[in-house]
Chain A
Amino acid sequence: MEKAQFQSRWMPYLLLAPQMVIIAIFFIWPAAEAIRASFFLEDPFFGNSTFVGLQNYTDALSASDYKRTAWFTVVFTVLVSLLSLALGMMLAVSADRVLRGQSTYKTLLMWVYAIAPPVAGLIGVMLFDQHIGPLVDFAAMFGWHLQIGVDYWDTGFAMIVVSTWKQVPYCFIFFLSGLQSIPTSVKEASAIDCQSETRRFWTITFPLLAPTTFFLLILNITYAMFETFGTIDQIVKDQPGNSPVTLVYKVFRDGFRGNDIGGSSAQSVILMIFVLLLTIVQFRLIERRIHYT
């Protein structure tokens, strides 16, 4: 390959500059600020701050509501990730089978993904509304009186449903393209070798989708932990007290609603470390991602 040489030595840096500035302003500076703030106790009214060492961390980690939130985040993340995977895969498998009309089917499921998270949250909230929500009426038919924003578990349930609903189309699209990249002749060979369709799915299709599944799993975990913020915000907006929230939402609430900048910063640093670990795992997986030829 030919190497392009810039006239000026500074040109590459100049071209990179806008991106660097954006990263610096929106990531590095806030991250550095968060790390700094996590070691201080800040007075919200007078701007004085006192160095307190690791106290913010120990406080955060030992607080009972931190543990409760962490526990909810784990349950929430696992359920949202796995449910989106399972539903996305199920839908993709059915779509793959229907050969014609596929593009309409795809679009029908895609449009959900085109909705911004707060809007999805809003629609979700409407679906779960105490008075007009069809899902509440539906649950009531089975004797389950959903109380979103009042009951801890009901609210958590609604969050999981809405967040999953938002992520399924994404998984669907990836799984569908994964399924379509399996050669027809391989599917046909397996139809000759194995009569049971279920067995064919688990022995041929599922293993061949494994790379896609790994990739989506990591993506879903990131989504459930961080990108569901808007959805959660919609659901818990006016009900501060007893609602379950994820760790990311708690960072926001403690910092901006509770004015505990130091504690909130400490929590966000903990999350940053987690993201770092997740990224390492992700890179490892992508590196080792099996490519079948």
Chain B
Amino acid sequence: MTTLRIKDVFKRYPNGAEAVKGVSVDVEDGELVVFVGPSGCGKSTMLRMVAGLESVTEGEIELAGRVVNDLEPAERNIAMVFQNYALYPHMSVRKNLAYGLKNRGTPQAEIDRKVDEAAKLLQIGEFLDRKPSQLSGGQRQRVAMGRAIVRDPAIFLFDEPLSNLDAKLRNQMRLEIKKLQRSLGTAAIYVTHDQVEAMTLADRIVVLNNGLIEQVGKPHEVYSQPASTFVASFIGAPPMNLLDATLSDGRIEIGGQSFAVQQTQKAGPIKLGLRPERLQVASGGEGFRVEVGVLEDLGATRLIHARLGDQDLTIAQDSELPEPSSEALITFRHDDAHFFDASSGRRI
């Protein structure tokens, strides 16, 4: 079943800014959908419309079978986790967790039971009587999660909940959020601009750009079949190489070199997409020659920054590195080549 249905939603702010320009997406029961995209693409706006913190200019939002466009946030049965935690500073952790339940008239015994349950789940039991100001960032984040959990909502809404934490804690909390969401079986939307977070957390990724959906798909699909040059360069690190090339009769020409590819439908100028980690420095075979420039050793992988004609190219490699300023032969498998329309940027 579908928990959340977003239908042709538009958002125009009073100042005229068009933040969302027609987005439709469904969130299935128990699914974790990640909205990812660069800053200002409308991710938070989408989430806040679902929460009821922003009005919907056009379109419909349906939560658990009920159109919620005109409902107050408190009537929507959602729970939100904010980037800066948004805990109530004058209340103890226990009161922070209980506040929403109390306002809905939940009996005290049940409140206590739910708060204790959530505290145990999140390991914040020992902090229940502290004020938020007496907690670390990570602990505050847990309390914010606890506040969302006790409400037992139809859907969790996360707006970059981990971006105020340091890298190590972020990885740890990311895993925990995923486990928690799985075990509770509650649907969730998770907003982030971090593609690693998106890839690791998501059941499905929605890539947003400039108020529109670029692609919806499983993390692997978005990675291996990017729908546009935008998605290709946004998902994956280091980003995909996008080279200006010309296609004719199953051969591709870049910077004076040409080689065979499995693409015969189209001819003319295109963009050729090649993931750095799918390129190999080879001693023989069909490929193209590049001029090796700067080398970067990242430990696990090594990056070769090279030039092909007048275009830059990155190759990720874990074996022997070629000499700087030498020439190298680069090969790739045919199904690792992505072709995009030169003007629209859409996948061919």
Which residues of A does B touch, CB under 8 Å? Answer: 183, 185-186, 188-196, 199, 203-204, 207-208, 210, 290, 292-293
Contact = CB atoms under 8 A, between A and B. Distances in A.
B127 interface: no
Interface in B56-96: 72-75, 78-80, 82-84, 86-90
Contacts of B137: none
Contacts of B84: 183, 185
B315 to A, nearest CB: 43
B80 A194 contact: no
B74 A194 contact: yes
A196 B72 CA distance: 10
Given A203-B99, A292-B133, A195 B86 contact: no
A192 B88 contact: no
B239 interface: no
A192 B51 contact: yes
B321 interface: no
A189 B151 CA distance: 13
Give the contact-size bracket for chain B: 20 to 34
A204 B96 CA distance: 11
A188 B133 contact: no
Given A192-B78, A192-B79, A292 B103 contact: no
Contacts of B133: 292-293
Contacts of B73: 188, 191-192
A195 B74 contact: yes
A193 B133 CA distance: 20
B125 interface: no
16 contacts: A183-B86, A185-B83, A186-B87, A188-B51, A188-B73, A189-B82, A189-B147, A190-B99, A191-B53, A192-B100, A193-B74, A193-B99, A194-B99, A195-B74, A292-B89, A293-B89
A191 B74 CA distance: 6
A188 B82 contact: yes
A185 B86 contact: yes
Contacts of B87: 186, 189
A207 B90 contact: yes
Nearest to B71: A195
A291 to B, nearest CB: 8
A188 B53 contact: yes
Contacts of A292: 89-90, 133
A28 to B, nearest CB: 42
A6 B86 CA distance: 49
A72 B203 CA distance: 72
Residue among A193, A290, A292 with the highest chain B CB neighbour number at 10 A: A193
A193 B81 CA distance: 12
B235 to A, nearest CB: 28
Contacts of A290: 90
Contacts of B82: 185, 188-189
Please name the 3 residue pairs, one residue from A and one from B, whose CB atoms are nearest each other, closest first. A193-B100, A185-B86, A292-B89
B80 A189 contact: yes
Contacts of B83: 185
A290 B75 CA distance: 33
Contacts of B147: 189, 193
Nearest to B77: A192
Given A207-B90, A292-B89, A193 B53 contact: no
Residue among A186, A192, A293 with the highest chain B CB neighbour number at 10 A: A192
A196 B75 CA distance: 11
Nearest to B81: A189
A292 B131 CA distance: 9
Contacts of A191: 52-53, 72-74
Contacts of B74: 191-195
Contact of A195 (B75, B88, B151): B75
B249 to A, nearest CB: 58
Contacts of A203: 99
A196 to B, nearest CB: 7
B50 to A, nearest CB: 11
B188 to A, nearest CB: 15
Interface string B88-119: 11100000000110010000000000000000
Given A189-B147, A195-B103, 4 more contacts: A189-B82, A190-B99, A192-B78, A293-B89
A198 to B, nearest CB: 12
Nearest to A185: B86
A123 to B, nearest CB: 38
Given A194-B99, A195-B74, A186 B90 contact: no
Nearest to B79: A192
Contact of A186 (B51, B78, B80, B88): B88
Nearest to A184: B86
